[in-house]
Amino acid sequence: MQGAVQGVGFRPFVYRLASELGLGGWVLNSPHGVCIEVEGDEAQVHRFEQRLENEKPRVATITGLKVSPLTPARCERFDIRDSVAEGTKEAFILPDLATCADCLRELFDPANRRFRYPFTNCTNCGPRFSIIEALPYDRPNTSMKKFAMCPECQREYHDPKDRRFHAQPNACSKCGPQMELWDATGRVLAREHEALAQSIDAVRGGKIVAMKGIGGFQLLVDARNDDVVRRLRERKHRREKPFALMFPSLESVEEQCRLSALEKQLLLSYQSPIVLLEKMSGDNGLARAVAPGNPYLGVMLPYSPLHHLLLHELECPVVATSGNLSDEPICIDEPEALERLAGIADVFLVHNRPIARHMDDSIARVMMEREVVLRAGRGYAPTAISIEGGDSETVLAVGGQLKNAVALKTGNHVFISQHIGDLETEPALAAFEKSAADLPRLYDAKPDIIAYDLHPEYLSTKFARTEFETGQSQRFGVQHHYAHVLSCMAENNLSAPVLGICWDGTGYGLDGTIWGGEFLLVREDGFDQLATFRQFRLAGGDKAVKQPRRTALGVLYEIYGSELFEREEPLPFVDFPSTELKVLQKMLVTGAGSPLTSSAGRLFDAVASLLGLRHAVDFEGQAAMDLEFVIKPGGGGFYHFELQGEQPIIIDWESMVLEILEDKRTGKAMGDIALKFHHTLVEIMVAIARVAGEQKIVLSGGCFQNKFLLERTVQRLRDEGFIPYSHNRVPPNDGGIALGQVMAALRTHRPENVSAKEVCAA
């Protein structure tokens, strides 16, 4: 049997069920999944099969059930046997699970032996992926191996009727992990409950507390205290990117945010992600610096016993942000935290359960009344996608440069790693290399193919090209937007042909320019570029990404040419210093250092700047978010656009931009202009879909994190008779492309018997 069943109390459940039905046999964890042999009365065996599916534990999913009749072995009893560790390892690894209701009740029950014990867990909850060192999932293969269970814990662990039967991280205050509070030099200030009490005082007193959590260190501060939130921003070098909040309870969230039924469900789910929620008007006592100028809050609820204990006492929301300098990966061990968080945290609340791999908090947003995962970390990773007829080849995909995640295909599944981050710092690169080695090691798989992005400057690409140079693995470059579309197809189990619409910020195009507004006709074994946006220049490349006003200048230059710099009227956005403008002018005219792009994301940036909303950004996607947030819904209409030529069709946005400038000049409301701009983009998609003649339309790329754009596009495409597909558990942003890279490598016909050769999927 295959599925995510290991470590969720599945074997105890099977044991109880078989015993109740009077069946003999055994159950064990194997690398392929759970094996069960039952024997007894035929009707009872049939009943067993039915109840297995119907009554399985809440978090268990069964993806495959193979039944074969056997000669009776005359077993009278039912046993749980030791795990076997041989053959291809394909069993699912479970993600870390938020504290269950039973454990929570015990945590606050003075009569219970685990009263206030911050590391309690059971087969229905607790750490998993963050403590697993090898498969199969058994205690000696986890970072809990160094804690020997006390007699009481032993008894629970071996009692099939107990909720902690074979709960691998089982522990109590007598035998399990313990906390300590350290100062910034690592000196112990307090232990156990006193450490907790002093941490609470520190948060209340406006201090920054670094806390070792499930998948790494978090930085906690009082979310109502503007001074400390600002101090945190300064020390973390994070100017405007919103901070996530942890609230003590669902009720306290409802005082600040509007919540739908699905959003509530997500907050309370065992994945317990950060959910993006619409804020009610007013600051309601929250510090302004938490999410400046943003109508959304990133909110989560306590998900570990330690978080429950802290928040229960604090009774107020805290900022709970990853323990790192901005753009670096989260710290996972004490020495690393003391070193890297030295200038940030005032005190350190640590514990002695090692974290096997870093795991950020996940982020989800409800769009089209569905959960869309924007960052897959704790609770979701590793994400398993089953694929049909997967051949015997093992593929490792190294992902992109930003929001990196890697993926491994072995057997009939693709396993996507946790979010790793932007590969722009040394620590991020180190975390990436560790993760690229981690998945193949866990699953005991030697990659036959290494798939990577075609961008020559991506560190993941360089890694794939050099690291595996001498190996026997075949290397396989995959075009960025093709990977996006294939990831969405894999998630939705779609086969070609489809029209893939991939809009994002940046991706290396087949012609060496920067793509990002692509319509791809995806065939069985490749794709054709059906349509793309008219290109414009980005003066300074990456610098233009940080400064939407440069992008706006590039768009205007594309319209007016050199005449732009001779015009009487001033440029519609904040004037550049004249020296800078001279430099940019030269860059645009000569094309030096000014790559061409067809990026839809950059078009958002340009329009945001032309409207005066934002001229420089602090984080990726910020200007596009401003445009989304400013929309005043309700109106209709769209701007003009032209489609020219064929294969690829060039979408000309010139009249749209000119009309936007005219609307701005005549004083039209910003909310109406932003709405009309979004409508125009949707109508462009509908127009190209009509030309493409495919019914299945696949939407992928970072632009589809925009709720208004996604929902409106899906609605309009459905109105026109198309069937749109979008992302759900796999992020629409670059966090999803490793999956697409795997799929590209599998579906493309490659020359036989070629090793260490480079092939491109185009």
453 binds, among Zn ion, Fe ion, none (CB under 5 to 8 A by kind): none
Does the footprint of Zn ion cover residue 214 (CB under 5 A)?
Answer: no
Choice from 90, 138, 518, 734 touching Fe ion (CB under 5 A): 734
Q: Helix and strand tally (H, E) in the chain?
A: 22, 30
Does the footprint of Fe ion cover residue 453 (CB under 5 A)?
Answer: no
Site for Fe ion in 142-171 (CB under 5 A): none
CA 265 to chain centre: 19
Does the footprint of Fe ion cover residue 422 (CB under 5 A)?
Answer: no
596 binds, among Fe ion, Zn ion, none (CB under 5 to 8 A by kind): none
Helix (H, G, I), strand (E, B), or coil: what is residue 579?
A: helix
* Burial of residue 714, with CB atoms counted within 10 A of its CB: 0-12 exposed, 13-18 middle, 19 or more buried: buried
Dihedral over alpha carbons 404, 410, 414, 417 (to 10 degrees): -30
Question: 636, 623, 728: which is closest to 682 by C-alpha?
Answer: 636
Site map for Zn ion, 111-150, x if CB under 5 A?
-----------x-xx------------------------x
Write out the DSSP string of 379-433: TTPSEEEE-TT--S--EEE---SSSB--EEEETTEEEE----B-TTSHHHHHHHH
| Residue closer to Fe ion, measured from CB, 131 or 485 | 485
Report angle CA 596, 429, 488 to the nearest 5 degrees. 60
Q: Two tokens at 241?
A: 């990117």
Q: Two tokens at 480?
A: 């960025």
| Residue closer to Zn ion, measured from CB, 98 or 699 | 98
Dihedral over alpha carbons 753, 754, 760, 762 (to 10 degrees): -30
Report angle CA 431, 434, 437 to the nearest 5 degrees. 150
**Min dist. Cβ of residue 153 to Zn ion (A):** 3
Question: 373, 305, 399: which is closest to 115 by C-alpha?
Answer: 305
- The interface region with Fe ion, picked from 149-157, 213-221, 641-649, 731-739 by CB under 5 A, is 731-739
Please work out the total of residues on this chain that contact Fe ion, with binding judged by CB under 5 A: 3
- The interface region with Fe ion, picked from 133-141, 443-451, 506-514, 601-609 by CB under 5 A, is 506-514
571 binds, among Fe ion, Zn ion, none (CB under 5 to 8 A by kind): none
**What is the number of other CB atoms lying within 10 angstroms of the CB of residue 79?**
15
| Residue closer to Fe ion, measured from CB, 6 or 599 | 599
| Residue closer to Fe ion, measured from CB, 40 or 516 | 516
Site for Zn ion in 173-192 (CB under 5 A): 174-175
Site for Zn ion in 418-437 (CB under 5 A): none
**Min dist. Cβ of residue 103 to Zn ion (A):** 3
Site for Fe ion in 629-658 (CB under 5 A): none
Return the DSSP state at 703.
G
Choice from 4, 153, 625, 689 touching Zn ion (CB under 5 A): 153
**Min dist. Cβ of residue 507 to Fe ion (A):** 5
The residues, any chain, with a CB within 8 Å of residue 171's CB and separated by 6 or more, are 117, 119, 120, 121, 144, 147, 149, 153, 177
Question: 463, 417, 405: which is closest to 443 by C-alpha?
Answer: 417
CB 305 within 8 A of CB 119: yes
Q: Two tokens at 507?
A: 């991706």
**Min dist. Cβ of residue 9 to Zn ion (A):** 9
The residues, any chain, with a CB within 8 Å of residue 586's CB and separated by 6 or more, are 592
Query: Residue holding tokens 């440029």?
Result: 571
**Min dist. Cβ of residue 101 to Zn ion (A):** 8
Q: Two tokens at 509?
A: 């195009």
| Residue closer to Zn ion, measured from CB, 308 or 475 | 308
Does the footprint of Zn ion cover residue 304 (CB under 5 A)?
Answer: no
**Min dist. Cβ of residue 299 to Zn ion (A):** 23
Strand order in 78-80's β-sheet?
Answer: 33-39, 24-30, 78-80
Please work out the total of residues on this chain that contact Zn ion, with binding judged by CB under 5 A: 10
Write out the DSSP string of 639-696: ---EEESSSSEEEE-HHHHHHHHHHHHTT--HHHHHHHHHHHHHHHHHHHHHHH--SE
- The interface region with Zn ion, picked from 167-175, 180-188, 405-413, 485-493 by CB under 5 A, is 167-175
Does the footprint of Fe ion cover residue 504 (CB under 5 A)?
Answer: yes
**Min dist. Cβ of residue 503 to Fe ion (A):** 9
Does the footprint of Fe ion cover residue 620 (CB under 5 A)?
Answer: no
538 binds, among Fe ion, Zn ion, none (CB under 5 to 8 A by kind): none
Beta pairing, strands 449-453 & 474-478: parallel
**Min dist. Cβ of residue 57 to Zn ion (A):** 11
CB 481 within 8 A of CB 453: no
- The interface region with Fe ion, picked from 316-324, 334-342, 419-427, 727-735 by CB under 5 A, is 727-735
CB 595 within 8 A of CB 535: no
734 binds, among Zn ion, Fe ion, none (CB under 5 to 8 A by kind): Fe ion
Rg of the Cα atoms in the chain: 27
153 binds, among Fe ion, Zn ion, none (CB under 5 to 8 A by kind): Zn ion
CA distance 480 to 401: 11
**Min dist. Cβ of residue 616 to Fe ion (A):** 22
Q: Which residues pair with 761 in a beta bridge?
A: 478
| Residue closer to Zn ion, measured from CB, 104 or 723 | 104
29 binds, among Zn ion, Fe ion, none (CB under 5 to 8 A by kind): none
172 binds, among Fe ion, Zn ion, none (CB under 5 to 8 A by kind): Zn ion
* Torsion region of 255: left, alpha or beta (phi above 0 gives left; psi -120 to 50 gives alpha): alpha
Site map for Zn ion, 272-301, x if CB under 5 A?
------------------------------
CA distance 663 to 672: 9
Cα atoms in the Cβ-side hemisphere of radius 13 Å centred on 652: 11
Does the footprint of Zn ion cover residue 364 (CB under 5 A)?
Answer: no
Does the footprint of Fe ion cover residue 334 (CB under 5 A)?
Answer: no
Q: Two tokens at 348?
A: 């350190």
Does the footprint of Zn ion cover residue 660 (CB under 5 A)?
Answer: no
371 binds, among Fe ion, Zn ion, none (CB under 5 to 8 A by kind): none
| Residue closer to Zn ion, measured from CB, 156 or 605 | 156
Does the footprint of Zn ion cover residue 172 (CB under 5 A)?
Answer: yes
CB 435 within 8 A of CB 420: yes
Does the footprint of Zn ion cover residue 27 (CB under 5 A)?
Answer: no
Beta pairing, strands 696-700 & 649-652: unpaired
- The interface region with Fe ion, picked from 46-54, 497-505, 555-563, 748-756 by CB under 5 A, is 497-505
85 binds, among Zn ion, Fe ion, none (CB under 5 to 8 A by kind): none
| Residue closer to Fe ion, measured from CB, 361 or 504 | 504
- The interface region with Zn ion, picked from 93-101, 237-245, 311-319, 471-479 by CB under 5 A, is 93-101
Q: Two tokens at 721?
A: 């008779």
**Min dist. Cβ of residue 124 to Zn ion (A):** 5
Q: Which residues pair with 528 in a beta bridge?
A: 521
433 binds, among Fe ion, Zn ion, none (CB under 5 to 8 A by kind): none
100 binds, among Zn ion, Fe ion, none (CB under 5 to 8 A by kind): Zn ion
Helix (H, G, I), strand (E, B), or coil: what is residue 128?
A: coil
| Residue closer to Fe ion, measured from CB, 24 or 509 | 509
**Min dist. Cβ of residue 601 to Fe ion (A):** 9
Choice from 103, 214, 356, 398 touching Zn ion (CB under 5 A): 103
**Min dist. Cβ of residue 230 to Zn ion (A):** 38
**Min dist. Cβ of residue 704 to Fe ion (A):** 11
Name the residues that contact Zn ion, by CB under 5 A.
100, 103, 122, 124-125, 150, 153, 172, 174-175
Name the residues that contact Fe ion, by CB under 5 A.
504, 507, 734
